[in-house]
Amino acid sequence: MSLLLKTLESFCPNITYLNLAEVEFSTEFIEFIGNLQKLQFLTLLDTYIIPGGEPKMLVMQFAKLLPVTLQYLNLRSIRWSCIRTYIDILFNNCYAPLKYLLIDHLKDEKEAKALIEFCIRRKTLNYVGVSINFDDNIKKDVEKYVKLIPWQRIVVNC
């Protein structure tokens, strides 16, 4: 684990707001996030995976370890990360009671279906902030379960 993560975990276990950029998406990082039991707001920008890693499994593990206190998840600027690639796996395995989710867009019906199933299963998601317009059919389907709004209306700068 990086020195920064070790320091934060040791001296700041009660973090409620966390904004990280250029993070190595690793088992150590995921465990660090899972140990922040008071975390309510999380923004991840530009996550990357080390070569040879198992991104699909890491995203699944990440989703399962998100703290039960987490209400806000900003993944809006991770278009090219492993989280973006497996966003459906994130939705299918997330049990955090998210109220606010920020993403760039949903690229296909598979991702939309996973988000809808998350909404039905958790019943906590109020708003999805988006930065790119969705396909009209996808938008219509998703809006039956959650309100889609411009990301600027719900972004939290922490």
pLDDT tens for residues 80-120?
Answer: 677 888 999 999 999 999 999 999 888 899 999 999 999 99
Q: Is residue 53 part of a domain?
A: yes
Q: Is residue 98 part of a domain?
A: yes
Q: Is residue 70 part of a domain?
A: yes
Q: Is residue 158 part of a domain?
A: no
DSSP of 4-55: HHHHHHHH-TT--EEEEES-B--HHHHHHHHH-TT--EEEEES-B--TT--H
Q: How many domains does the chain have?
A: 1
SS3 of residue 113 by DSSP: helix
Q: What is the mean pLDDT of the chain?
A: 91
Give the whole-angstrom CA distance, residue 96 versus residue 109: 23
Q: What is the CATH number of the domain that holds 106?
A: 3.80.10.10
Structural domain harbouring 93:
3-153
Q: How far is CA 155 from CA 86, 89, 97, 103, 152, in A?
A: 22, 23, 17, 11, 5
Q: Is residue 59 part of a domain?
A: yes
pLDDT range class, residue 51, cuts 50, 70, 90: low
Give the whole-angstrom CA distance, residue 32 versus residue 116: 28
